[in-house]
Structure formats: C-alpha cells, structure tokens
Structure 1
C-alpha cells in the first residue's frame, strides 16, 4: 500500500489538472512530475501550486509539478499505477471511468498494476540485477532474431523443395539471398552483443563491438592458429560464444572507467581506448575464450542430456516452473542459453517447452470464463486478454487474471507442465530463433516438427482448462459483480513511522563542476531561479569539466537519465546536483557517470563525465546547480565572491540552523 502522503499528492494533483482523463502521458525527472496535458484550460494552476507538498509549477512544453527528490518518483509511480500504464506510456483515450475502457485496456491496466505490486515485493539482489542486465542486452535484438529466423525458416523450406524437385533450381539464388540476410544477424551476433553489453555496463559501445569481434578471430587461419594456453589446441572462431562476450565487455567497462580516472583529459581520447582494447583483447583471446568455451559447451550439452534422458518428465518440470521463474525475474538467464544452443545446434529445444507455460494460462482463462460467467468484470478482462495470450503475449492473462485470483495461476502452471511433457516426450522439437511464443512460434519451429509443437499447445490448453475447471476456481470469483462488491472490506490504515533526528556538524559544499559561477536568479528555469527546492549555486561548466562530488558522504540516488545525482553528506546535507536544464529529455545521451546509489564518495572525486559541447549543440542550457534540498535545517552561507570555480572551490558553508 502506498504511503498516505504519496497517495494524497497523486490524487490532489489529478484533481487539479482535470483528472487522469486530461493527461496524455506522464514521466518524472529527479524533482518534477512532468505531464503532457490534453486541455490546459482544465488545469487549476493556483490550486495546483497550493497543494501541500508541491514546491512549484512550470507550464512549458509539459506541465511540470515540482515535488522534490525522493518523493517525486513515488508520486509519479502512484499516478501511473492508478491508470494502469507505465511511466512514459500513453494514457488510455477515455479514463472517465472503467466502464469506458475496452476489455483489452481494462485487463492491461490491471495487469500493469499487479505486475508493479509483484515487483515491489521482490528484493533487488545482485543476482537479479545481473539477470536484468542480461535481459537489457538482448531485448533490443529480439526483432532481429524473429525477422532473420523467419527468413531462414522460409529459406530452409524452399531449399528442401529444390532437393525434392518440387521447384526448380532457379530458386537457388533467391534462397542464397535469404540465407545471407539470416547470417547477417547470427554470423556477427558477437559484435551486436558486444555493443549492447557496453551500453548496459557503461563502456564505449564501439569498443564493446570490437571486443565482440575479437572472438571471431578475424584473420586467423588453420595454417597459423592461435592456441589455447590451457591445452595447446587451436582456438576456434566464436569459442566461448556470447556468454564470453558479455563477460569480456564487463571487464572492458571496469578497465575503461579506471583509465578515465587515471589518464589526463588532454590525452584521454587517444590513450584510454588504445590501452583498454589491447589489455582486454589479449585477456579475451587467451583467458575468456578458453574458459567460456568450456562453460558454453558444457551448458548446451547438459541441457540436451537432461531433455534426452528426462524426456516427458523434464518437459513437465520446465513447463510448470517457467512462470514462477518469470515472476522472480530468473527467466532472463535463459536468453543467452537459447542463443548458444541455436549457434551450436541450429535450434533451441528449450523454447517450445517453455512456451507451454503461456498455453496453460490460456486454458485456465477459458475455464474461468465458463465457470465465472456471472462475474462480468472478470469475463470482460478475460475476453480482452485471450487473443494476445493465444499469440504468446501472456502478461495480461498472468498479471490481470490468474495471478490475482491465486489458485488459477497454480492450475495454469500444471497445464503448462502437461504441454511441456508432450513436447519433451516427442523430442527433437526446437525453435530456430527466439522471440515469440504461443501460436506465433509455429513458423519458427525447426523443419518438419511443427505438428509436435501444436500437439503440445493443445495439451497445455486442455490441461490448464481441466485443472482449473475442477480444482482452480475461487469461490469469490464465481460471484456476480454486485456480490463481489458487497463482500469487499476496507484496507486497514497504515501506521505512521517517525524518523530518528539527525545530528549535523559544520560542513562545506564545493563546486560540482569547473566553470563560471552565475547568479541563481538568472537561471532559465523559474523554479530553480527562485531556489524553491533549497539554497542553490549555479555554475556554467567549462567544456572540458568532469563532474565532481561536492560533499563527502554517500550517493543516495542517480537519475535513470544520468542528468542528476543526489548525495547525503557526512554532516547530513542532502545535496542535489542537477546537470543542465531540461536535460532529462536527452534520456542519458552525452552523460557518463561512474557512481551508483550506495557508493561512498569524497569531496572533489570525479563521479562522471558529460559532453557539454554536444548538450549545447542539442539546444539545452548546460548550467549546473548544486542544491541543498534540506537547507531549512541549516544556516547556509553562499560564497558569491568567486567567479571562476574548480573542484576545490567552496560554494556554500553550512552549519546547523540552531547553532
């Protein structure tokens, strides 16, 4: 349940902007909820400014409600959760009431809310962060896998038809063209993965691509091979696969960040990439490729052994447990495994089995539809979610229908296990590319085995249906809409928590960038110019200036778009460094930070770099502000006598307000 203050702010903001039906979409930066308003005449500006907790309002390209760091993200999330969309996604066209939403919009809204609640319950462990990074690396490549896989599948069918004499050999050139397109993805996959891995780990994308290309051993011939330092055998191009590439680029990111700290700015662009590529390239060839090669081969061989020996039993276990894995984010590790199996064997037998999990959800939903026909709200959501569920998009069914009801989720998993047992028992059923599931996966099933996959789908539909129909129907779901409403009970109030008082000592804040100090009241953003969020100092950064920590203490937050960092100093000051005006719109472009929440920093430490020149060329004001957001707790003495600032220049002296 959201904090009472957060819920109040979200509701009051909606009340004064004309309701969620007057909002086209909503995002937030480090201090502001930013809404695209449909009809500005419906906005009560004065009422909005007078809301307790709102620090100011700016009406620009978007309506910006200033709340402050630490609270704004919670308020924005509460506002989009109430509507049932994600941050930045368009709001449904008609939000005058749920009665006006289509069945599809209704179930998607509920699914988004339930999914957000499930994620909020999960602890972010290091393993989950690693799995999330793996997912971020491969998600941009999925359209390429699907497109190239389908083209390769058609080419294989045509090739077989040529061999069988069903079509003439004049098709050979066309078939070759299709194979060239397919190979454009899979032959150079290591390069694409290297680039995406660099983006994810904060390295230079081009360097990540080069490290990926290193594993292809371009120019190495059988007559003059490079040798494995462990067994003396010749290294093979691609040895270690994409698992090795991801690890190597992660090492590259560590090396490159350290070099950026050590190498002087004047020669950084020449020396850093040269040294980084040389060190990590040698490391990749002689250590990563041999070790990752053993891991990759063992992993693929182990999975094939489990499926061959376990057959139907292995299929049942995998099909039944896949959705719980999805809920906990553990499924993301499977993506590189799928791709390794495709690279080594031409298909992944795992994907057709795991796709049965979604089919079990379809069967369970049909059973709910029949048994709960008096519950029109539920059946309308099922009608909205079923078509996409059949096509392999299972989130609306999972988070909008079965998971909130409890028992149907379990019986749906049993249905997925039954379908997995059929596919695993038949054997030799694989997908030649990854991406879709459900019915949409049929064109990607390896040649001649699609009937076995369809048999598995039908078995999963039937299994999920029967298990749910007889054992998975909650009593309250059978009730009509009116009966459900009368049975509902209000939530218990949440007890308030009182934070411990903080003891402050005298401290100083230094400049976050080198450059020219300017009067705060000349800042182009009116909220920042009025120091609404706290005592502030504004600096026009020098083009070669890195970003420095202005205090000694801990990093409390880093904006997703890297344009702002929040610190809590050892003396208790909460300092927000905001780099540029409206630079949230750049979505992280031109920013490269090397700190994360929880890191300890020292005053004057370099915490990242910004390409100020490119930001200015993009039309954004580069002025950077240091803001003490809890300055009401201090006596703050700003140093306005110094114009030229560097990382050691004191810009504010603070002492406890009661001293």
Structure 2
C-alpha cells in the first residue's frame, strides 16, 4: 500500500486537474507526472502549484507536474492504479464515481488493477523479457490471423460443398478470391513477423521484412536449389519457420546498431543497410534456416507425440495449467508454436485444448453468481465479465473475479482441465488459425470437428461450475453488501508490512562534481524548460553536448536509478550528494531511442567513467533540445559553488564544488 504522502499527492493532483475523468492518459519521466488533459479549463493551476510536494507545473503539450526523482514514479503508479489502467494507457470514461460505471467497465477497471499488481510482484528475468518481446511481435498480427483464418475456414466449407455437388461451379471464383486473401496473410507471414521483430528489437523495419522474406527463398528454382551446409539436402522455402525469422532479425538488430556506430554519418544510409542485409542474409540462409528447421520440426513433433500418446491425460494437464501460465506471462511463447504447427500440419491442436481454461472460468463465474447472489458488487462484476468471457476474452474474469478471490481460480483451472481432457480424448480437433478462444473459436476449428470442440466447452463449463459451487466459494464472498467486505479483491490488496531498515547516516564532506558530457557550458537560466531554468529541483549546471556521444559519471559513488527511457541517471556520491543527470529536454518521449547506457542501479562508478553513449545528432534531428543538466537534488545540505568561467568542458572539468552546510 502506498504511504500517506504518496496517496495525498495523488489525490490532490487529481483534485486540482478536474479529477480522473479529465485525464486522457498519464505517464511519468524521472521528475514529472505528465498528463494529457481533456479540458484545461477544469485545471486549477495555482492550487496545483501550491500542493505540498509539488515543485512546479509546466503547461506544454502535456500538463507536467514536477515532483522530483524517487517520488514521481510512486505517485504516477498510485494515480493509474486508482483508475485501473497501466501507465500510458487511455483512461476509461466516467471514472470519478464507481456508481456511474457500467458492470463491464467496473470489472475491467478492477481486472486491470489486479493484473498490474500481479505483474508488479513478478521478478523480471531474461526469460520474461524474451516472452514480452514475443508478445509485442505477435499481438499486432492477431486481427489479421482472425480475419484471414475465418475467411479461409469459410472457403474450406464452400470447397467441400462444391466437391459434394451441393453448390454450383459458379462459386469457384468466389472461393478462389477467399483463398487468395487467406494466403496473403499466411504465405507471407515471415515478412510481417520480420517487420514487427525489427520494430521490437530496434532494427530498421524494412530490413527486418527482407530478412523474413529471405527465408521464403524467392527466386530459387526447384531445379537449382540452395543446399543445407550440414547435410547437403536442398533447403525448403520457409525452413526454420517463424522462430528462425525472429532470431535472425534479432541478430540483424545487433549488426545494424554496431554498423551505425562504426560507419561515418555521410555514408551510413548506403553502407549500413547493404552490409547488414548481406551478412545477416547469408547467416540466415545457411545457418539459421537449417538449425531452426530442426528445432521447429522437433518441437512440433514432440507436441503431436504428447497429445497422441497422452490423450485425455495430456489434455487435462494442459487445460488446467494454462491459466497459471497466463498469470505469469509464460503463455506468450505458445504463439510461434501455434504458427509452426499450422504451417506444418494445417492446424494447431494445442489452441482448442488451451481455450478450455477460459471456459472453466465461465463455469466458475456462474457458480459464484448463484452462491454469492447477496454480494451485489461481485455479481455485477460477473455480469459485466461473463459475455466477453464466453466469447473468449478471459482477462476480466481472471483478474477481476476469480484470481482476487483465490479458491475460484483453482477450481476454474480444474474445469479447464476437464474440458481439455475431452478435447484431448476425442483427438484430431485443431484450429486453422490463432485468434480468440471460447465460442468465438468455433468457426476456426478444422472442418468436421467443431462439434467435438463444443462438447469440450460444455464439459469445461460444467466442470468449472461444479468444482466452484461445492469447493471454491470463499465465505466472505457470500456476505451481503451491507457487511463491509471492502472489495472482492481484498485478499490481493493486502500487503504485508516490513520493519523499515535503520537508515545509515551520511557524513557529508567537501567534494567536486565534474561534467557528465563534453560540450559547452551554458547559463541554466537560458534552458528552454522553465522548471529547470529556475533550478527548482536543486543547484544545476547546463551543458550543450558536443558531437562526442560519451556520457560520464560526474562523481565517485553509486548509481541509484536509471530511467526506463535511459534519458536520466541518478547517483549518490561517496560525499553524500544526490546528483541527477538529465539528458535533453522532453527526451522521455523518445522512449530510449538514441540512448545506450551501460550501467545499472546499484553499480559503483568512478568520476569520469564512461557510463553510456547518446547519439546527439539523431536526438537533435528528432526535434529535441540536447542540453544536459547536472542537478544536485539535495543541494539544501550543501553550500554549492558553481563554475561560471568554463565555456568548453570535458569529463575532467569541475563544474560544481560542494561544502557541507553548517
């Protein structure tokens, strides 16, 4: 739970900007809460500036409330948590009073909040970052998968009717048109994945598309094939599949970034893409395609073997475990596996089984609705989440209803396992494209097996209902609203408190701050940002960087934080100064582009040590002021002597001297 100061700041900011309903979306940088305001007439600027803890307010493209490093992230998180969205996501409408929310809006807001809390508890690991990247690559393609898949399914049904003589040959052209549309997605999927992978990994999208296209071996004739360097066999178009494309484009991103550093700017646009495509293209065709081909074929074969041998048992295990995988974000790895199975066998038998997990949630929710009918808040949320849950969108039910209550989440998983057992036991039930689950998946089930999928859905509904009705209803959830049970998520909202560690007293000593970048020192008062120009956050020195891209540590000490967008670093020196290096004005909007820092929080640094690089030329081309500020944010503890004689500065140039305040 946020401490009292954080909650107070969040509430007072909302109060003076016209409430959450007057905010379109909210993000933060290292020092400011940045809000997109709907109606500026509702904002009380003077009251906002006078809030205890607010250092200043800037009315620009966004309304920027300056709070300072260390606190701003907590306040911003508290503000979005109160609304039930994530940072940067659009705020829902009519959110000032929960009574004005529809059942659907209320459960979606609660689900978003619980989901954010669950993610916050999860430790970020390299594996989870990889899974997040996979998700970012495929989520934009989901509508295309659904649309092209449904069109292909209709084409298959019409083709069967044509063969059976139930429709005339006049349908031939119409069926062909639908197949052309379907193939427009699946035949060139490697290109789309290559472009999205390049966007995710920071490579040029067009180059990523070319690498994806290279795996299709355009122009290679069957009579004159390229050969696998490991076994001499002819390479097949698409060998290595989507997994190979993602890996190859990741390599492309590394090569391209290095080339951008090495190649002079005057010839970079010509030389870099040429070398990157040539080197990575050869690497992809002769190394990635053969190796990834073996991996993808083995993976598909292993899954088919498990389903064929395990049958109902395998179906139960997969159906029961899918929701925990969703909760921990591990389900993202399944998307490329589904695609590989569709490419190799024409369908994915995994998707119908895993879809049973959502059906178990539906059964559990219906049981809760009946048993907890006196709890109107809970039943209203269920009414809002059930329709979309039946259609295969399970997050409102998971994060808004069953997971916060605990027991129903487990019994819903059991229901999903029962449905999965039915699908696995019947066998040969697959989806011809990835997309939704629930009832909405029926049109994508491979021809002739949709009835088996419906039996699985019904089994999951019944299994989730029975398990929850008899074993999964918490007693406090059945209480009437007149008993103040707070929220259905009361269990997930409870945070254990810990005893604060005894603070280490800092003994301040005389010290010096050196330039964080090479360049020209300029008057702070001339900085374009009014808050920084007034030195609101502490004594500051401004430097206009030269073309040298290096960034240096200005103190001997420890890195305390690094902005997610890499445009700011915070240090605590061995002498006790808290020094913020803010690189550029409003460069948070670049989201890390052109910034490449090599240090992490907790690392020890030495004055003058290189801690990263910034492509100042590209930052300026993007329209941002590159002026870099060194700010002593606890300057009230020191007497600060700022250098005013320096014009040109470098890493060893002293820009500020400090003496402990008496």
TM-score (norm 1): 0.90
Q: Are residues 1:28 and 2:25 paired?
A: no
Q: Which residue of 1 aligns with 2:517?
A: 512
TM-score (norm 2): 0.90
Q: Are residues 1:116 and 2:140 paired?
A: no
Contact 1:555 1:595 in 2 (8 A): no
Q: Are residues 1:538 and 2:545 paired?
A: no
Q: CA deviation at 1:518?
A: 3.5
Q: Which residue of 2 aligns with 1:137?
A: 137
Q: Which residue of 1 aligns with 2:472?
A: 472
Secondary structure at the aligned position of 1:218 is classed as: coil
- Name the CA distance, whole Å, in 2 between partners of 1:187 and 1:270: 30
Which deviates more from structure 2 when the two are superposed, residues 69-78 or residues 325-334?
Answer: 69-78
Q: Are residues 1:53 and 2:60 paired?
A: no
- Name the CA distance, whole Å, in 2 between partners of 1:14 and 1:384: 27
Q: Are residues 1:528 and 2:532 paired?
A: yes
Alpha-carbon spacing, 1:96–1:221, altered in 2? closer, same or farther (3 Å): closer
Q: Are residues 1:242 and 2:232 paired?
A: no
Q: Which residue of 1 aligns with 2:281?
A: 281
Alpha-carbon spacing, 1:27–1:381, altered in 2? closer, same or farther (3 Å): same
Give the aligned length: 651
Contact 2:514 2:656 in 1 (8 A): yes
- Name the CA distance, whole Å, in 2 between partners of 1:53 and 1:388: 42
Q: Which residue of 1 aligns with 2:207?
A: 207
Aligned match for 2:622, one of 600, 615, 631 = 615
Q: CA deviation at 1:111?
A: 1.1
- Name the CA distance, whole Å, in 2 between partners of 1:591 and 1:658: 39
Alpha-carbon spacing, 1:172–1:495, altered in 2? closer, same or farther (3 Å): same
Which deviates more from structure 2 when the two are superposed, residues 426-435 or residues 204-213?
Answer: 204-213
Deviations, residues 415-464 of structure 1 (Å, cap 9, x unaligned): 11111111111111111111211111111111221111111111111111
Secondary structure at the aligned position of 1:27 is classed as: strand
- After superposition, residues 321-400 of structure 1 pair within 5 angstroms as 321-400=321-400
Q: Which residue of 2 aligns with 1:653?
A: 656
- Name the CA distance, whole Å, in 2 between partners of 1:465 and 1:32: 48
Q: Are residues 1:500 and 2:507 paired?
A: no
- Name the CA distance, whole Å, in 2 between partners of 1:434 and 1:608: 40
Residue segments in structure 2 that go unaligned for 5+ positions in a row: none
Deviations, residues 36-63 of structure 1 (Å, cap 9, x unaligned): 3455455443443233322111233433
Alpha-carbon spacing, 1:147–1:626, altered in 2? closer, same or farther (3 Å): farther
Q: Which residue of 2 aligns with 1:315?
A: 315
Deviations, residues 504-536 of structure 1 (Å, cap 9, x unaligned): 78454325365x543221223211111212333
Deviations, residues 346-395 of structure 1 (Å, cap 9, x unaligned): 11111111011011000100010011101111111111111111111111
Alpha-carbon spacing, 1:221–1:24, altered in 2? closer, same or farther (3 Å): closer
Alpha-carbon spacing, 1:103–1:270, altered in 2? closer, same or farther (3 Å): same
- Name the CA distance, whole Å, in 1 between partners of 2:635 and 2:280: 46
- Name the CA distance, whole Å, in 2 between partners of 1:530 and 1:556: 24
Q: Which residue of 1 aligns with 2:70?
A: 70
Alpha-carbon spacing, 1:366–1:294, altered in 2? closer, same or farther (3 Å): same
- Name the CA distance, whole Å, in 1 between partners of 2:486 and 2:220: 75
Secondary structure at the aligned position of 2:65 is classed as: strand
Alpha-carbon spacing, 1:631–1:176, altered in 2? closer, same or farther (3 Å): farther
Which deviates more from structure 2 when the two are superposed, residues 258-267 or residues 111-120?
Answer: 258-267
Deviations, residues 242-263 of structure 1 (Å, cap 9, x unaligned): 1112222222223333333344
Residue segments in structure 1 that go unaligned for 5+ positions in a row: none
- Name the CA distance, whole Å, in 1 between partners of 2:599 and 2:142: 28
Q: Which residue of 1 aligns with 2:160?
A: 160
Q: Which residue of 2 aligns with 1:565?
A: 568
- After superposition, residues 403-442 of structure 1 pair within 5 angstroms as 403-442=403-442
- Name the CA distance, whole Å, in 1 between partners of 2:587 and 2:139: 26
- Name the CA distance, whole Å, in 1 between partners of 2:350 and 2:381: 30
- Name the CA distance, whole Å, in 2 between partners of 1:341 and 1:72: 46
Deviations, residues 602-653 of structure 1 (Å, cap 9, x unaligned): 645652325245422xxx54544443444445554444444456x6473723
Q: Which residue of 2 aligns with 1:125?
A: 125
Q: CA deviation at 1:76?
A: 0.8
- Name the CA distance, whole Å, in 1 between partners of 2:445 and 2:32: 48
- Name the CA distance, whole Å, in 2 between partners of 1:323 and 1:110: 18
Secondary structure at the aligned position of 1:467 is classed as: helix
Alpha-carbon spacing, 1:147–1:513, altered in 2? closer, same or farther (3 Å): farther
Alpha-carbon spacing, 1:505–1:153, altered in 2? closer, same or farther (3 Å): farther
Deviations, residues 120-148 of structure 1 (Å, cap 9, x unaligned): 11111221111111111111111111121
Secondary structure at the aligned position of 2:571 is classed as: strand
- Name the CA distance, whole Å, in 1 between partners of 2:415 and 2:587: 49
Alpha-carbon spacing, 1:446–1:57, altered in 2? closer, same or farther (3 Å): same
Which deviates more from structure 2 when the two are superposed, residues 101-110 or residues 246-255?
Answer: 246-255
- Name the CA distance, whole Å, in 2 between partners of 1:91 and 1:37: 11
Secondary structure at the aligned position of 2:226 is classed as: coil
Contact 2:597 2:611 in 1 (8 A): no
Alpha-carbon spacing, 1:408–1:606, altered in 2? closer, same or farther (3 Å): closer
- Name the CA distance, whole Å, in 2 between partners of 1:467 and 1:511: 62
- Name the CA distance, whole Å, in 2 between partners of 1:517 and 1:99: 56
Which deviates more from structure 2 when the two are superposed, residues 253-262 or residues 145-154?
Answer: 253-262
Q: CA deviation at 1:593?
A: 3.4
- After superposition, residues 437-456 of structure 1 pair within 5 angstroms as 437-456=437-456
Alpha-carbon spacing, 1:467–1:441, altered in 2? closer, same or farther (3 Å): same
- Name the CA distance, whole Å, in 1 between partners of 2:25 and 2:250: 35
Which deviates more from structure 2 when the two are superposed, residues 241-250 or residues 327-336?
Answer: 241-250
Which deviates more from structure 2 when the two are superposed, residues 174-183 or residues 387-396?
Answer: 174-183
